[in-house]
Structure 1
Amino acid sequence: MNNEIKIRAAKAEDAKALLNIYEPYVRNTAVTFEYEVPSLQTFAERICNVLDKYPYLLAEKNGEVLGYAYADSFHERAAYKWAAETSVYIKMNKRRSGIGKILYNELENILKMQGILNLNACIACLSKKDEHISDDSLIFHKKRGYKYVGKFHKCGYKFNKWYDMVWMEKHIGSHTSNQPEIKKFSEIKIDIG
């Protein structure tokens, strides 16, 4: 039996497994500012919308989906197309096991092949920890080479509390005066399953 973690591109059919991972983050944390768990159809549509241009990856081991990571547009205007916002969600009982690192390594490799230069992470935080938030995401991104670039104060309201939003960024390519166009995820030839 193979006990290795496999990374592959997500499909609409994976929506149920990925939504099961996301649901406790919506219900019990301020990691996402979403109030209601999206429907299965809505979540599947989100996956397909991301895959139109960016990677949406999942990690699985022995058929069990352990987590997922994806990139999406940082901003829709053309001047921002070399920047992408990254996100990662790991099954609650599998956090701090290295799955996020494996997913982000693959995500970054693909984004580099696409020609993406700037990775941006939008992270909820509170001036002090509470039962709905921790420093885990900030620490994770810092270890991955992301740098703090700014904070929006009391911009997200959930669980009757105001949360701050931190932006972190990482450059993964060279910025030139004649920047090549980016490629869509579907144009990248990769061997991830």
Structure 2
Amino acid sequence: MEETKIRIRTAGPDDAEQLLAIYAPYVEKTAITFEYEVPDVKEFRDRIRRILKRYPYLVAEISGEAVGYVYLDSFIGRKAYDWSTSVSIYVKEQVRKTGIGRALYQAVEEIARAQHITNLNACIGYPETEDEYLTKNSAQFHAHMGYRLVGEFHQCGYKFGRWYNMIWMEKMIGEHEEHPKPFIPFPELPKSGRAEKD
């Protein structure tokens, strides 16, 4: 079988419709996101614009079609957390477990290091008992990518008439220096620090 070529690039507001098509099934059919309603294209476009003011928002493409995306966002929002971010990833249902998630995470980690970020934090829905809406696959994927469990909140998310837990997992990607280098917003990174892959 011929190897599929994955292109990773910075997403933009014009990608909103394609990326929303990837995200919508997660809202409608899973508890992977605790969002109830699929946002409209304008709202999704605004989310992309907001993220890109400080953080990377990357899209993976195969033959020009968006098949997944990843972005970083503010962890807490206070200055002292500049070196920590949250990370979110969504891959098109039909191409999961094909290496796209790994490629996206590797690319976004490279950018995060260039921004002087040291901690990546993933907020993950977690079932006490796996069901048709939520499995432990996301936690397993993050563990495979080097994340470790740091906390669990019990029955804090309610969706599809069921209560779900939520876990935080973290990955250290940099040294915690006595005097850390300042955080660099994504738009201020030189092109060489943007880690786009063809």
TM-score norm. by structure 2 comes to 0.94
Aligned-residue identity in percent: 48
Q: Does 1:111 align with 2:112?
A: yes
Q: Which amino acid aligns with 1:120?
A: N
Q: In the TM superposition, what is the alpha-carbon distance from 1:177 to its structure 2 partner?
A: 1.6
- Report the counterpart of residue 62 of structure 1 in structure 2: 63
For residues 187 and 165 of structure 1, what CA distance do their matches in structure 2 show?
34
Q: In the TM superposition, what is the alpha-carbon distance from 1:63 to its structure 2 partner?
A: 1.0
Q: Which amino acid aligns with 1:43?
A: F
Q: Does 1:7 align with 2:21?
A: no
Q: Which amino acid aligns with 1:71?
A: L
**Runs of at least 5 residues in structure 2 that lack an aligned partner in the other structure:** none
- Counterparts of residues 100-179 of structure 1 (less than 5 Å): 100-179=101-180
For residues 101 and 76 of structure 1, what CA distance do their matches in structure 2 show?
27
Q: Which amino acid aligns with 1:102?
A: A
Q: Which amino acid aligns with 1:57?
A: L
Q: Which amino acid aligns with 1:157?
A: Y
Do the aligned partners of residues 163 and 99 (structure 1) sit closer, same or farther apart at CA in structure 2, a change above 3 Å counting? Answer: same
Q: Which amino acid aligns with 1:42?
A: E
**Runs of at least 5 residues in structure 1 that lack an aligned partner in the other structure:** none
SS of equivalent residue, structure 1 residue 20: helix
* Deviation string, structure 1 residues 26-63 (Cα, Å, up to 9, x no partner): 00000000000001000000001001000000000111
- Counterparts of residues 47-58 of structure 1 (less than 5 Å): 47-58=48-59
For residues 26 and 77 of structure 1, what CA distance do their matches in structure 2 show?
29
Q: Does 1:94 align with 2:95?
A: yes
For residues 168 and 86 of structure 1, what CA distance do their matches in structure 2 show?
10
For residues 25 and 128 of structure 1, what CA distance do their matches in structure 2 show?
19
Q: In the TM superposition, what is the alpha-carbon distance from 1:3 to its structure 2 partner?
A: 4.7
Q: In the TM superposition, what is the alpha-carbon distance from 1:129 to its structure 2 partner?
A: 0.3
- Report the counterpart of residue 19 of structure 2 in structure 1: 18
- The count of residues paired between Structure 1 and Structure 2 equals 192
* Deviation string, structure 1 residues 105-142 (Cα, Å, up to 9, x no partner): 00000000000000000000111100000111101100
For residues 138 and 123 of structure 2, what CA distance do their matches in structure 1 show?
10
RMSD of aligned C-alpha atoms? 1.2
Match of 1:192 among 181, 190, 196: 196
User: Once superposed, which parts of structure 1, at least 4 consecutive aligned residues long, lie more than 4 Å away?
Assistant: none
Q: Which amino acid aligns with 2:177?
A: T
Q: In the TM superposition, what is the alpha-carbon distance from 1:176 to its structure 2 partner?
A: 1.4
SS of equivalent residue, structure 1 residue 116: coil
For residues 3 and 100 of structure 1, what CA distance do their matches in structure 2 show?
14
TM-score norm. by structure 1 comes to 0.97
